């Protein structure tokens, strides 16, 4: 089932994943129109798409996802919405109200706009963090959509993404203004990496400052299975095709799917090293502190920042949740997405690694110069 001739809306279209999805839609689907919805649509993003846009109209909608009138205007006449936009706050540096406003309220307003403007398909970009890890750091190995887990979410990002996902799946089957039905599904990718990943760039910058030695923030046995951005974009396309297919629509609607690929499981820190070792980076043998002591230090820092918050807002660079996330084995299978959506990774581990390392190499001189001049 093709999206050829459809009008597609991509929220967060200028972000890391959004740009990849827009390009994929242009190259493969030949949609009649793709609407790029973002707070700020950069000219260079539009220019980078000129080589593949063909007959497709690229429309820019700059605005706030918390503005219902703006969303209804952006969705008018559209058939499919890919909702990627969200606030990712790993250090809890943002106020909860801001994260909630974008991640939850923005999603709810977008769903309401879909109903008012008769949009039939809605694909939500969730995350494995809606599952955990929980504060006890209980592991999941090769988890599936049926895995039972004591999910206790205390992190603002995780909580708001879970509530937004729940609202998305509950909206499946809602009656549209024209009498049709809205179909929704949610995709839970593991940690997304690839060319353009700002988190990898940040780790490389820290390594440069540390004399080309990457910091070890996770123990080697805490395995995760990251997923390449190109494969995540393809999974979104497959989800949209499935929701449009009358034979698959009911089976896929209202469900969530884990997304991973054939990237081998390893710890976050060792994954960074695999990608950056060809660029001359080594990695610390051990954590900066023993894990238990590290956790206590994070607790004390969080307590101190809470005491000082009425006077000054200080955000510690590490917190207990992030430390737990980095040191808990948490891997997931993509078999259900393969079975229901027809998702098979487009990019092998070797190609994904090569592309990512080549991009990091291209950024290395500028990063060194920026750090040396600061």
Torsion angle of C-alpha atoms 64, 256, 320, 108, degrees rounded to 10: 30
User: Where are the chain's structural domains?
Assistant: 7-198+226-265+331-349
pTM attached to this predicted model: 0.95
Q: How many other β-carbons are positioned within 10 Å of the β-carbon of residue 241?
A: 19
Chosen CATH of 7-198+226-265+331-349 out of 3.40.50.300, 3.40.50.620, 3.20.20.70, 3.40.50.720: 3.40.50.720
Q: Which residues does the annotation mark as catalytic?
A: 157
User: What is the chain's pLDDT, residue by residue, as a tens digit (374 residues)?
Assistant: 678 889 999 999 999 999 999 999 998 887 889 999 998 877 777 777 877 777 888 899 999 999 999 999 999 999 999 999 999 888 778 888 999 999 999 999 999 999 999 999 999 999 999 999 998 999 999 999 999 999 888 789 999 999 999 999 999 999 999 999 999 999 999 999 999 999 999 999 999 999 999 999 999 999 999 999 999 999 999 999 999 998 899 999 999 999 999 999 999 999 999 999 999 999 999 998 899 999 999 889 888 888 888 888 888 888 889 999 999 999 999 999 999 999 999 999 999 999 999 999 999 999 999 888 87
Task: Using DSSP, state whether 188 is helix, strand or coil.
Answer: strand
Strand partners, 330: 140, 224
What span, in angstroms and rounded, lies between the C-alpha atoms of 354 and 165? 33
d(CA 264, CA 20): 22
| Beta bridge partner(s), residue 8 | 34, 80
How confident is the model over 30-83, as pLDDT tens digits? 788 999 999 887 777 777 787 777 788 889 999 999 999 999 999 999 999 999
């Amino acid at each position: 089932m093709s999206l050829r001739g459809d009008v597609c809306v991509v929220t967060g279209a200028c972000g890391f994943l959004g740009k990849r999805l827009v390009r994929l839609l242009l190259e493969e689907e030949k949609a009649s129109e793709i609407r790029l919805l973002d707070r700020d649509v950069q000219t260079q993003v539009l220019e980078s798409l000129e080589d593949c846009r063909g007959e497709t109209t690229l429309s820019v909608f700059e605005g706030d996802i918390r503005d219902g009138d703006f969303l209804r205007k952006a969705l008018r006449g559209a058939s499919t919405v890919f909702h990627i936009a969200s606030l990712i706050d790993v250090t809890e540096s943002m106020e909860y109200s801001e994260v909630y406003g974008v991640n939850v309220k923005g999603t709810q307003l977008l769903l309401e706009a879909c109903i008012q403007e008769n949009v039939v398909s809605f694909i939500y970009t969730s995350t494995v963090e809606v599952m955990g890890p929980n504060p006890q750091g209980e592991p999941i190995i090769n988890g599936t959509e049926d895995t039972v887990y004591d999910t206790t979410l205390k992190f603002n990002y995780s909580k708001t993404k879970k509530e937004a996902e729940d609202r998305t799946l509950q909206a499946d089957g809602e009656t549209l203004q024209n009498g049709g039905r809205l179909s929704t599904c949610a995709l839970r990718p593991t940690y997304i990496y690839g060319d353009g990943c700002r988190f990898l760039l940040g780790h490389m910058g820290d390594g440069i400052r540390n004399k080309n030695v990457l910091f070890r923030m996770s123990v080697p046995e805490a395995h995760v299975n990251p997923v390449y951005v190109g494969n995540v974009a393809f999974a979104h396309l497959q989800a949209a095709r499935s929701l449009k297919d009358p034979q698959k629509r009911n089976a896929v609607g209202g469900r969530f799917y884990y997304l991973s690929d054939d990237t081998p499981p390893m710890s976050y820190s060792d994954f960074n090293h695999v990608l950056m070792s060809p660029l001359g980076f080594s990695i610390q043998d051990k954590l900066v502190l023993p894990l238990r002591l590290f956790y206590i230090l994070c607790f004390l820092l969080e307590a101190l920042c809470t005491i000082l918050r009425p006077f000054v807002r200080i955000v510690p660079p590490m917190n207990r949740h992030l430390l737990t996330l980095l040191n808990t084995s948490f891997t997931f299978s993509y078999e259900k997405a393969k079975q229901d959506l027809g998702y098979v990774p487009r990019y092998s581990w070797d190609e994904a690694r090569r592309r990512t390392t080549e991009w990091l190499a291209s950024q290395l001189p500028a990063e060194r110069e920026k750090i040396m001049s600061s």
